Structure 1
Amino acid sequence: MVANNPQKRSKPKTLKSEFGKVISFLHLWLGLAAGTILLVVALTGCILTFEDELTPIIYAQEQKVTPAPARLSADSLVSLAKLTYPKKKIFRIYLPAEKDQSVKVTFGTKKKGYDYLYMNPYTGAILAKGKEAERFFPVVLNLHRYLLAGDTGKIITGISCAITFFMTLSGLYLWWPNNKKVLKQRLKVKMDASRKRLNWDLHGVGGFYAMIFLFFITLTGLIWSYDWVETMMFKMTDGKKEQVEVVKEPEGKIKKEKGIVELVVTATNTVYPTHGQIMITFPDKKGKPFTVSKENSAALVDTVSQLYLDSRTAKVLKVASFSSLSLGSQVRKLNKSIHTGSILGWPTKIIAFLTALITASLPITGLLIWLGRGKKKKSKPKVNPLLSKPEPAVL
């Protein structure tokens, strides 16, 4: 049968197709809106992934020392450090487990900012000092979390993180092929394809592989950004958020022991004999104890346990080991390790770095896809050169 004017049959609209259009619309415009922020956050995330490895390289003169037979006591180091900042209150001292690393001491408060100094633990020599906020990695972290804009920047990055979380899920929905035969094509980049196809592959295929890990990175970012997400995490693990107990020292006048900081170090190593850095936070008010954290770098997952000790006698007031915490509190403690990829050492750090790098490319490839979306030219009917009339369509 021949029809001179065939009518084009349109596919009936379905709920799935309409939902796909909405997802595609939101994925496009939310991606364009948050693209610049995502690019900045992802690139700074690449740098921060290897902060622990890069710091000794960038600041070799202040980080590395030549080991000697014996280190100075923690109290001697604190006394020497106070000579540099006599008018400031000591905040924290970091005592590394490695013999060739320097000791870090910080002064000040969170509100007014911190001053730092690095010391040779064998000689007491000051290796470096300055404002903590002006160092390279704290600046990068400030850009990563606050865009150098304080609370306003935190709101923006929080919204951007939520958008990225949605983009991760919506991207998977848009990537998933209807035909299983196409699945193999969606799993690899066709390097010999046209520039337009190559760009799509870099966005789609790269985004798919990054999505697997970006899901956890954005989720941990949301826990930092929003209290309700943190509360939801606790409800999903323990049913409710664990209440933080305020530890106080016993009342009464008690004579302060000599060499109190060194006694704290000894007590900490007795309770936690594992290998790892000790971080002692000094009490900011009378009646408050020392808060000590010690890493367990020998474990598969580098966990941190805490200890509370009387600031006058170094008597242990409370032991809060990582293993004794509830599941929700353990997950919350590991939030940073999961976010930065340091949870299992080098393997997960490399994965986190590559994920952040691919994520930084997605706003660029996505923008190129959008710019390359031209209007499809309407196909002209085939013309018989002899009759100069449209050929009839055969049904």
Structure 2
Amino acid sequence: MTIRKFILQLHKILGLVTGVVVFIVAITGCCWSFREEIESFYDGYKKVMPQELPMLTPSKARDIAMKVLPGHHVHGTLYQQADDAIEVIFYDLEPEFYQSVFLDPYTGKVIKVVDHFSGFFAFILDGHMHLWLPKKIGAQVVGISILVFMVIIISGIFLWLPKKRKNLKQRLTFDWKQTTRWKRKNFDLHTVIGFYICSLALLLAFTGTIMSYTWFHYAVYKSIGGQKDVEFIIPANKSNGQELGNILPMDALVTKLRQESPDAKSIELHYPATENESIYVEISNSDGLYYNADYRFFDQHTLEEIETPSLYGKYENAKAADKLLRMNYDIHIGAIGGLAGKTIAFLISLLTATLPVTGAFLWYGRHYKKRSTNT
């Protein structure tokens, strides 16, 4: 068996084994591309009428929200602009629970309770990440399949190369005539589309694998010169419990951060899980982007700022390798390029979903032909 025949066999077998998974992941990724834009048409409950009144403090917002969802853990509180509702986020690991209570920031009125595990996009995300299977099983199936898909793409590039230069045009264009049979058209759809999207499809698969596997995330980061810890680390307090005074430290922190970051798009405060844990704050500096957010940590008693050894700290302190890894999710969904980037990610995902289909037809056509010839 020649190398080319071996690679062809490998390409076919791997494609048939992972085809359904790749199709589902690609189609759901395609649907996810414009989630924020689509949700903006029906999330009017997130907007309020600005008032000349002080906003609710984090402790007050938490107290109100806990009466709505008693018995659940408050993960954090999200503050945005003057005309945005305050979002109090609840999350429990076992059994998994993820809901938000939206409050009027001036009156404390409960506007809406949202279950993040229900609705169309929750269904799409579950399919994209777990194939609607139990998480531990689905995540492994998806992760392994996408690793295999990268091998399929690389082998496909090798198989795409024509043996003769004169056949190059056939691999670059759809040169169809009225006499062109469907098998030839299907072959062209598979090879021509595959060639034009292979680099970006490989990029989407690569960035997805970084999110799927900690070891892969670590290996990529260290290989590009990263020197910090890859894990997200919330440092411990430095004080022994001295309080600021009459104002709760968490409540004073909101005012402090608004003064320091007046142009911030949002400020999300996370309540410490233990007495020894610092307050973790995520400050978003751009609409629709995550990579340039500032992750800051404060002593929960004195509000002294504490540095983290993780690459997820202040963006201004990030090195080139840190920035590249922090961009991973924004690259994966195309947000790094704005609306144009999301459109490209949408099209690449949609076209990627056609490859398992046309590949299966190629296999069927050749297999059926051999059976017909033998009979």
- TM-score range for the pair, normalised by the shorter chain length: 0.7 to 0.9
- What's 1:293 paired with? 282
- What's 1:197 paired with? 184
- What's 1:51 paired with? 35
- What's 1:166 paired with? 151
Does the 8 A contact of 1:301 with 1:343 survive in 2?
no
The 1-side partners of 2:226 and 2:304 are apart by: 34
One-letter amino acid of the structure 1 residue matched with residue 280 of structure 2: T
Pairwise mapping of residues 176-195 of structure 1 onto structure 2 (< 5 A)? 176-190=161-175, 192=177, 193-195=180-182
The 2-side partners of 1:156 and 1:208 are apart by: 26
**Does structure 1 residue 249 correspond to structure 2 residue 233?**
no
Q: Deviations over 1:232-291 (max 9, x none)?
A: 212311165636655221232322552544422233334444432222111111121111
What is the Cα deviation at residue 27 of structure 1? 0.8
Does the 8 A contact of 1:233 with 1:328 survive in 2?
no
Does the 8 A contact of 2:291 with 2:323 survive in 1?
no
- What's 1:221 paired with? 208
The 2-side partners of 1:178 and 1:285 are apart by: 65
Q: 1:350 aligns with which of 323, 343, 353?
A: 343
Does the 8 A contact of 2:56 with 2:106 survive in 1?
no
Does the 8 A contact of 1:231 with 1:241 survive in 2?
no
One-letter amino acid of the structure 1 residue matched with residue 21 of structure 2: I
Distance 1:123 1:299, change over 3 A: closer
The 1-side partners of 2:142 and 2:287 are apart by: 34
Q: Greater Rg, structure 1 or structure 2?
A: 1
Distance 1:376 1:33, change over 3 A: closer
Q: 2:360 aligns with which of 356, 367, 376?
A: 367
What is the Cα deviation at residue 20 of structure 1? 0.9
- What's 1:382 paired with? none
Gaps of 5+ in 1: 1-16, 379-395
**Does structure 1 residue 107 correspond to structure 2 residue 57?**
no
Pairwise mapping of residues 1-395 of structure 1 onto structure 2 (< 5 A)? 18-57=2-41, 59-70=42-53, 72-75=55-58, 76-97=60-81, 99-112=82-95, 113-148=97-132, 149-190=134-175, 192=177, 193-238=180-225, 242=229, 246-255=234-243, 257=245, 258=247, 260-297=249-286, 303-318=292-307, 320-373=313-366, 374-375=369-370
Distance 1:354 1:94, change over 3 A: same
Q: Deviations over 1:56-101 (max 9, x none)?
A: 22x424334444455623334333223312433321112224x444
Does the 8 A contact of 1:251 with 1:287 survive in 2?
no
Distance 1:116 1:135, change over 3 A: farther
One-letter amino acid of the structure 2 residue matched with residue 370 of structure 1: W
Output the aligned Cα RMSD. 2.7
Gaps of 5+ in 2: none
- What's 1:7 paired with? none
Q: Deviations over 1:280-338 (max 9, x none)?
A: 11111112111111122179985211111122343323383123124333222222111
One-letter amino acid of the structure 2 residue matched with residue 81 of structure 1: A
The 2-side partners of 1:162 and 1:79 are apart by: 45
One-letter amino acid of the structure 1 residue matched with residue 93 of structure 2: K
The 2-side partners of 1:238 and 1:101 are apart by: 40
Distance 1:274 1:237, change over 3 A: farther
The 1-side partners of 2:288 and 2:99 are apart by: 32
The 1-side partners of 2:37 and 2:269 are apart by: 23
Identity of aligned residues (%): 28
What is the Cα deviation at residue 151 of structure 1? 0.5
One-letter amino acid of the structure 1 residue matched with residue 210 of structure 2: I
Partner-residue secondary structure (3-state), 1:220: helix
Partner-residue secondary structure (3-state), 2:307: strand
Q: Which moved more, 1:112-121 or 1:331-340?
A: 112-121
Partner-residue secondary structure (3-state), 2:174: coil
What is the Cα deviation at residue 368 of structure 1? 1.2
